[in-house]
Structure 1
Amino acid sequence: MNNKPTLYYVYDPMCSWCWGFKPTWNRIEEQLKDKVDIQYVVGGLAADSDEPMPMLMRDQIASYWKKIENLLGTQFNYDFWTANTPRRSTYPSCRAMLIARGEGREKAMLNAVQTAYYLQAKNPSDVSVLADCAESIGLDRAAFIDAIESQETQSKLVDELQFARSIGGNSFPSLFLQTESGVRELAVDYQQSQITVDRVNELV
């Protein structure tokens, strides 16, 4: 029987702070993978929308990118804002993660989507971009498109968002450790992985 604690990583594929946190998270995951079960949980930053993002919101998000860039040295491709019609819509990319998870490819899909968005200035709010990402990691394009538009995938997303909220995952990235004594939120340090690793070791 597996009695290992579970470390939940609540994220959104189009969350710029998750992109900034990625190198630190990778180190945390590598150091703790044998001690805890690590479970990715999509958080659903922004619901489905076909409306163009208002200019004020575009400027605000671009300013977040600059802040993260200055703090963490994270790379962003600002051509995104002129090459696309941005929409405040991350649920499609969250559905893409659930589909890839079913194929054991969630981390690969997350990397593909983040690379497309932040480095290649492509828009993961578009299913066509997500299908390109799916194809790039070896998933069948037609099957992926069918799945991302299915009620089954939508139901899985609703269930996952409800679970994320039930443990307190209302901002991204968030970390939660589930042990026999319950679920505890862990502080996210964007620069020092060892702080989180040490805290988990204390609690397990």
Structure 2
Amino acid sequence: MTKITPNRLYYVYDPMCSWCWGYKPVWDKIQQALRDKIDIQFLVGGLAPDSDVAMPQEMQQQIAAYWKKIENYLGTPFNYDFWIQNVPRRSTYPACRAVLAARQQGAELAMLESIQRAYYLEARNPSDSDVLIELAQQAGLNQQQFVVDYGSAEIDQMLKQEIAFARSIGGNSFPSLFVETAHGIVELQVDYQSAQNTIGQIEQLIDE
């Protein structure tokens, strides 16, 4: 189980969350500015459980509309060929397990970026294990070790525990940000357009 220690920044995300993809440029700036000031911990939130059921057409249209909204709001690029070239499923737990398996090799962020680029730019489906295994190799992971970890009971248990911990601190939507200090845990409002606002809030909290 995740331990709670002072001065920690929790980032609750899902590899297949489109708003997390939209937030990526701002989040990258926040990490760069604060990496020497606070311990940054990623928590997978588990957007959608395992499913082999094809996503209903209405849900596909709804999610594609979210993409368009994010694109219009933030200028984030999306490849809408995904909806034509794949059989989408409402299933993000495989991608969550993939980043946890990559974390075992110290490569969570590399795997996350590979999944996001594959999904949103290359119209590939990260709900499929074979896609995730290919992405692990492309991200420079030991593919054989990745396959073992990805399919292990330990990673599945880690996923369940991480989701439970994220929920316990209020991480019910993605992305979510929480700052923990000696005074407790504070949730920050996600500012999708300004890294500096969030950086300032975090610096103020850890200086109190």
Which residue of structure 2 aligns with residue 71 of structure 1?
A: 73
Which residue of structure 2 aligns with residue 83 of structure 1?
A: 85
- Percent of paired sites with the same residue: 58
Which residue of structure 1 aligns with residue 31 of structure 2?
A: 29
- Could you tell which deviates more after superposition, 141-150 or 158-167? 141-150
Q: What per-residue deviation string (whole Å, max 9, x for no partner) do you get for residues 55-87 of structure 1? A: 000000000000000000000000000100000
Which residue of structure 1 aligns with residue 137 of structure 2?
A: 135
Q: Which runs of 5+ in 1 are unaligned?
A: none
**Structural RMSD (CA):** 1.0
> How far does residue 4 in structure 1 lie from its aligned partner after superposition?
5.9
Q: Which amino acid aligns with 2:23?
A: F
2:6 touches 2:182 (CA, 8 Å); kept in 1? no
- Determine the C-alpha separation between the residues in 2 that align with 1:75 and 1:52: 25
> How far does residue 148 in structure 1 lie from its aligned partner after superposition?
1.5
Large movers: runs of 4+ above 3 Å: none
Q: Does 1:144 align with 2:146?
A: yes
1:4 touches 1:36 (CA, 8 Å); kept in 2? no
Map of 1:1-204 to 2, 5 A cutoff? 5-204=7-206
TM-score by length of 1: 0.97
- Could you tell which deviates more after superposition, 135-144 or 186-195? 135-144
> How far does residue 137 in structure 1 lie from its aligned partner after superposition?
1.5
- Determine the C-alpha separation between the residues in 1 that align with 2:81 and 2:53: 20
> How far does residue 144 in structure 1 lie from its aligned partner after superposition?
1.9
Aligned-partner SS, 2:37 = coil
1:12 touches 1:44 (CA, 8 Å); kept in 2? yes
> How far does residue 142 in structure 1 lie from its aligned partner after superposition?
3.0
Q: Which runs of 5+ in 2 are unaligned?
A: none
TM-score by length of 2: 0.95
